[in-house]
A = this chain, B = another copy of it.
């Protein structure tokens, strides 16, 4: 039943030689560096993980009675549980215990009662606990089944409509802020050649500790990620997939304070890829490191289950740090993302590890340096569908130069066997993309791939030449940094500004108050089910 549609170039053969010893060392050091953080994540839960359990169990919608009517029921319930009995044993036990005690069939009824103040939560013990556990398991299993069905549907649709005819998959962003403007734009983009559509989120959303509800029309520089928006867009893309005879994928963003929930909604609404980085929220949204590491773990388990390809965010580092000096931090982060992903059950074909064309274009040989970096990633992760991100930092208001740079970015993508090509926009430094920018950008991609894609036959960096040397140099620097990280600890390294020259101490940042150390008897039926299906028991 499970096919693995993957944008990895199947015909990829190594074209440079990496120092094998360095490769081995890099990988084992990454595993060592990640281990303490994985333990930390296993020992804790967060409000969003617990809300995700309720979402899997089918609780959706928002409380219309307070504020702007945008506080979801899952928040209401989890907050109440936390306030009354704490979340150390998870939300499932007290909730399904209450369902039985108060005689509710439907979580929504419970939620309304909670808001009305008529529910008093208790922690069940013994048989009551078992009953609560079983009820919760049944309920969340329904959600997982829906995710499984979506995965099967995707496989079926891919079989029916077909995968994109070539690599890399062309990935386009829409970002009007209004889902009803986004939809026709996304369809137009697909018709014009996009294989993957990403709907950028409104700037504020990743710091919201709840997921907004419904179809939304008022985002800033992006559209809110909501279950309804997901559904609307997926349906629109199904329509256009049929029309085009090519399954068009949909992507959104998990990273942020609601990573676990958004991952869950993505699974429930058959999104196909998700931006999901183990450190992005920490570095670029100042979210607390512990919160992020816990949340990413749960969200990735869901993605693994849903057959969703994750996209990591190493490209972002190069917008604050220098793409040459700090090239090795990208490699280190990719190795860490790989380790965390494997632990959460993701397979190699699901690892859309990120990297980017962000070297100052005025630097001599900048294009070949880009080739070297891109080849390093390609050779280090031969089975992963790498995601190749376009120039942003050195884009300026000179849209002509920008269009040219994007062309050379596309060429690197073609020459180095990238799996997913995020299409660069000539207006990068000016506005979120215009409709015409996207169209022009796609024409750029098409020209480069059609006219020059075959150049792979002639692209043969010599042994010991500039490109191979540079790739090994960056790899060696990465090993050096990983050594330091295993010595100091990853959390300290993050606090020191190792990644993206941004310092993030372990006990600072947003959302720390949403972190709860699990107590004995912690029960998360969703995790238990997923772990069991992966052939392992929940380890804590």
* Known contacts A457-B466, A458-B467, A462-B458; A368 and B401 CB within 8 A of each other: no
Decide if the interface of chain A is mainly helix, strand, loop or mixed: helix
CB-based nearest B residue for A426 = B400
Q: How many copies does the complex hold?
A: 2
Q: Are B443 and A367 in contact (CB under 8 A)?
A: no
* Known contacts A452-B408, A462-B457; A400 and B400 CB within 8 A of each other: yes
**What residues on B are CB-neighbors of A362 within 8 Å?**
450
The 8 A CB mask of A310-336 against B (1 = contact, 0 = none) is: 000000000000000000000000000
Q: How far is it, in angstroms, between the C-alpha of A371 and the C-alpha of B401 when the chains are bound?
A: 23
* Nearest CB in chain B: distance from A368 CB, A: 5
* Nearest CB in chain B: distance from A488 CB, A: 37
**What residues on B are CB-neighbors of A264 within 8 Å?**
none
* Nearest CB in chain B: distance from A391 CB, A: 12
Check: A455 CB closer than 8 A to any chain B CB. yes
**What residues on B are CB-neighbors of A399 within 8 Å?**
400
Check: A525 CB closer than 8 A to any chain B CB. no
Q: Are A361 and B447 in contact (CB under 8 A)?
A: yes
Q: Are B451 and A364 in contact (CB under 8 A)?
A: yes
Q: How far is it, in angstroms, between the C-alpha of A407 and the C-alpha of B452 when the chains are bound?
A: 13
Interface size bucket, A side? 35 or more
Check: A404 CB closer than 8 A to any chain B CB. yes
Q: Are A404 and B401 in contact (CB under 8 A)?
A: no
Q: Are A401 and B447 in contact (CB under 8 A)?
A: yes
Indicate which residue in B371, B401, B447 contacts A443 across the interface (CB closer than 8 Å). Answer: B401
Q: Are A367 and B404 in contact (CB under 8 A)?
A: no
Q: How far is it, in angstroms, between the C-alpha of A359 and the C-alpha of B195 when the chains are bound?
A: 28
Indicate which residue in B447, B450, B457 contacts A404 across the interface (CB closer than 8 Å). Answer: B447
* Nearest CB in chain B: distance from A140 CB, A: 51
Q: How far is it, in angstroms, between the C-alpha of A400 and the C-alpha of B427 when the chains are bound?
A: 12
**What residues on B are CB-neighbors of A444 within 8 Å?**
400-401, 404
The 8 A CB mask of A385-403 against B (1 = contact, 0 = none) is: 0000000000000011101
**What residues on B are CB-neighbors of A451 within 8 Å?**
361, 363-368, 408
**What residues on B are CB-neighbors of A459 within 8 Å?**
458-460
Q: How far is it, in angstroms, between the C-alpha of A407 and the C-alpha of B402 when the chains are bound?
A: 12
* 19 extra A-B contacts, CB within 8 A, seeds A408-B452, A457-B466: A361-B447, A366-B450, A366-B451, A367-B452, A368-B452, A400-B403, A401-B444, A401-B447, A404-B407, A405-B447, A407-B407, A408-B447, A408-B451, A454-B466, A457-B465, A457-B467, A458-B459, A458-B467, A460-B462
